[in-house]
Amino acid sequence: MLPVYKRSWILGEDKYVELEVCSTQKGEVTIPSASWSLTPETAAEAEQSGACEVEGNRIRALIEPQKTGNYTLEITYELPPETRKVRVMVDVH
């Protein structure tokens, strides 16, 4: 089972979600690119999306949900030769 990450927002806040990628193998982690999408629980399409800030093994996405309710933030990043995804549940009240 995958871990579930959860964050709380107050409507009107814009905040960063930050991830640190660690490797089980020796050596530094290099992430060439990462992107994000923010989708309301009740919608099929993303409300917002964009490119993440990447510095070394850290990924940051600045998000600002537009309505109250539950969202899924999906971060997709490259860790050659793989593409990986992380989901964060965002509760906006």
Instruction: Please report, for the chain, the start and end positions of each structural domain, with discontinuous segments joined by +.
Output: 5-92
pLDDT at res. 23: 78
Model confidence at 1: pLDDT above 60: no
Residues 26-33 have a mean pLDDT of: 86
- C-alpha to C-alpha distance for 1 and 23, rounded to whole angstroms: 19
Residues 3-25 have a mean pLDDT of: 90
Model confidence at 58: pLDDT above 50: yes
Task: Domain 5-92: give its CATH code.
Answer: 2.60.40.10
Q: What are the pLDDT digits (tens) for 68-90? A: 999 999 999 998 889 999 999 99
pLDDT at res. 84: 93
Residues 12-33 have a mean pLDDT of: 89
Measured on CA atoms in the order 19, 25, 31, 35, is the torsion positive or negative?
negative
